[in-house]
A = this chain, B = another copy of it.
Amino acid sequence: MADRQTPSPTRSRILSAAAAMLADNPAATLSVRAVAERAGVSTGSLRHFFPTQRDLIDAVVAAITAIQPTEELESALHDTTRPAVDRLVDLLRGALRDTIGDDSARERWRSALAASEPTRTDDQAAPTLALERLALRRIAGWVTTLHAEAADESDAGALLFDAETGARFLGTVLTGLVTEQALPGSLARAAHHDSTLRIAATAVLTTRR
């Protein structure tokens, strides 16, 4: 899938630096200059390997998510024997579990919310949509893949909107589920999760004929 060239040590150092920054602070801003400095290279050098900032972020996401156990979930993405909606629901459920599954993840999320006090004296903590954005990138990738797959089918109609829009929609739905889960006494249950994710996935993959 990814190119298997001799993996330039500079390129690797850049990716490691970016990953380390996210490890230090999930809300870190991965700006060209910050990453380049941490990696000990020039901005121009960084740009040589990652022509655009989006390329850099994508590569970091890939590097990070490839490590995680969700990879076998990801493999289900290409299992064309199953309906696309089913696969997308499974992937979304996995993403949801990553966000609220363990206590540490939930704690991170809650502290991010708590840190969002408007009465902050110092803004070094501009919290934390980095993680959210990471999730969004993954989701966008899934939607793009499934969209392309749908486009290949001869009788498929036009998709109602682009993958980016669909991914943001799904991100909002996940945020809603996570929030309901975090709220005390919330009545959200697994059944609601399932039906919600299924409706959302169906909406995103629906074609117009």
Interface residue A70 (Cβ < 8 Å from any Cβ of B)? no
- Please, how many angstroms separate the alpha-carbon atoms of A168 and B203 in the complex? 15
* Chain A residues at the B interface, C-beta cutoff of 8 Å: 106-107, 110, 112-114, 116-118, 120, 123, 125-129, 132, 160-161, 165-166, 168-169, 171-180, 182-188, 192, 195-196, 199-200, 202-204, 206
* Min distance, Cβ A123 to any Cβ of chain B, angstroms: 6
25 sample A-B contacts, Cβ–Cβ < 8 Å, listed by A number: A112-B183, A113-B179, A114-B117, A116-B182, A116-B183, A123-B185, A127-B185, A128-B183, A129-B183, A129-B185, A132-B183, A161-B195, A168-B192, A169-B195, A169-B199, A172-B196, A173-B173, A174-B176, A175-B175, A175-B179, A176-B176, A176-B179, A199-B203, A199-B204, A203-B203
**Judging by beta carbons under 8 Å apart, are A172 and B180 in contact?**
yes
Is the CB–CB distance between B185 and A180 below 8 Å?
no
8 closest Cβ contacts across the A-B interface? A176-B176, A203-B203, A172-B176, A175-B176, A114-B114, A179-B179, A113-B113, A116-B184
A195 to B160, CA, bound (A): 11
Task: Determine the residue in chain B with the shortest Cβ distance to A114.
Answer: B114
Most B CB contacts (10 A, CB to CB) among A112, A113, A174 go to A113
